[in-house]
Amino acid sequence: MDALTRFTPEQVAAAKRYSEAIPPTDIDPRIERLVADLIGRVADKWTMLVLELLTDAGTLRFTRIAERIEGISQKMLTQTLRQMERDGLIERKIYPVVPPKVEYNLTPLGLTLGGAFCGLWVWAAENLGEVERARAAFDKKA
């Protein structure tokens, strides 16, 4: 699985330990709702990709990010970056020059979020095939 070369052996091992553990119960429904909402926004498609790109690249300008995230419109990129900045995930440095220059990089908080996503990436990479098989079987029956 090529995608796994993305992670260190330690991360993959940790992800497996995760997958084998059984999440216990007991959680305040209100907290749960807040957390679910937070995950919901933060697990957005473009946010994920920006997070990953900046994790790799460090600091990038607006246009560089747009170039390297295929399919994103400038509107969505602006919107995603603003949201991430508001949530404290990225830092935005504006250089008062002309033409304008703006640089983006992850905050420490943003970096930790990238780490938290690792388990999901590992799961998806490992189980992509099984999901596709399940889908094919389901569609054949219908």
Contacts of residue 50, Cβ cutoff 8 Å, sequence gap at least 6 = 65, 69, 77, 80, 81, 84, 90
Contacts of residue 118, Cβ cutoff 8 Å, sequence gap at least 6 = 7, 11, 14, 15
Cβ closest to DNA, residue 14 vs residue 76: 76
Part of the chain binding its own copies (CB under 8 A), chosen from 59-67, 73-81, 84-92, 98-106: 84-92
Part of the chain binding its own copies (CB under 8 A), chosen from 13-21, 59-67, 73-81, 97-105: 13-21
Q: DSSP letter string over 80-139?
A: HHHHHHHTTSEEEEEE--SS-EEEEEE-HHHHHHHHHHHHHHHHHHHHHHHHHHHHHHHH
Query: Would you give the DSSP letter of residue 71?
Result: T
Using CB under 7 A as the binding criterion, the count of chain residues that bind DNA stands at 19
Contact partner, 9, from its own copies, DNA, none, Cβ < 5-8 Å per class:
none
Residue 78 binds to DNA (criterion: CB under 7 A):
yes
Footprint on residues 38-77 left by its own copies (CB under 8 A): 38-40, 42-43, 45, 48-49, 52, 55-56, 70
Residue 102 binds to its own copies (criterion: CB under 8 A):
no
Rounded distance, CA 46 to CA 77, Å?
8
Query: Interface residues with its own copies (CB under 8 A)?
Result: 2-3, 5-8, 10-11, 14-15, 17-29, 31-36, 38-40, 42-43, 45, 48-49, 52, 55-56, 70, 85-88, 109, 111-125, 127-128, 130-131, 133-135, 138-139
